[in-house]
Amino acid sequence: MHSARGPSILRGVHPPGQARRGDRGRHYRTIAEATSLPLLVYNITTGVRLTAEDMKRIFEEIPSAVGMKYTDADYFEMRSILDLVDGQAIILAGRDELFLPALTIGAGGSIGTTQNIFPELFVGVHRAFLVGDWEKAQELQLKASRAVRVLLGYGSLEGRAQVQGLPPRTKGTFIGIWRHWGFFKGSPKSI
């Protein structure tokens, strides 16, 4: 996030690749001490998985840690993090294909990838969720999940280029699949 004066939050800070359990907090403390920006921890399961206990400790010990992007499919653990931080921080979903389930267990929102390509789908899911229109929320989430599947299957850069009407780097059946699923009626830009 940026303002006219520069960034307003330090976001997407990954855990160190091979950190031992006791070193995880130190990694984030070192980063937090180097800046006055609020810190958004990025929990993506690579080599190190941040547990609910890790996150509770990080939020207790680092005042500038304001939230977390949780990019894992283990929503039991996500709920455990929400319970342990008890409102001290915002937990944001990071899996676009699981946005609606994340909202149902308490995620405060989401930071995603395909949300940048299809913002209206995800805004629609969120609005339907907020008013309790579960049928509409599920319909839009299923459409979004299909979009994620196509992007993963055909490469997100090439897929994004085609969806946005840019010259594609590859030829294939991408647009045909999207039309089959009802994503657009005319040109790719008409989504």
Give yes or no for a contact between 163 and 151, defined as CB atoms under 8 angstroms apart: no
Q: Is residue 42 annotated as a catalytic residue, yes or no?
A: yes
Closest CA to 44 of 101, 111, 127: 111
Instruction: Give CA–CA dist 158/166, Å, rounded.
Output: 9
Rounded to 5 degrees, φ, ψ at 7 are -65, 145
Instruction: Give CA–CA dist 159/34, Å, rounded.
Output: 38
H or E element that contains 25: helix 24-33
Q: Which of 28, 56, 69, 70 is catalytic?
A: 69
Q: Which of 42, 70, 75, 154 is catalytic?
A: 42
Instruction: Give CA–CA dist 82/74, Å, rounded.
Output: 13
Beta-carbon contacts of 42 under 8 Å, excluding residues fewer than 6 positions away, are: 11, 12, 13, 14, 15, 68, 69, 71, 94
Q: Is residue 154 annotated as a catalytic residue, yes or no?
A: no
Beta-carbon contacts of 12 under 8 Å, excluding residues fewer than 6 positions away, are: 40, 42, 69, 111
Q: Which residues are catalytic?
A: 42, 69
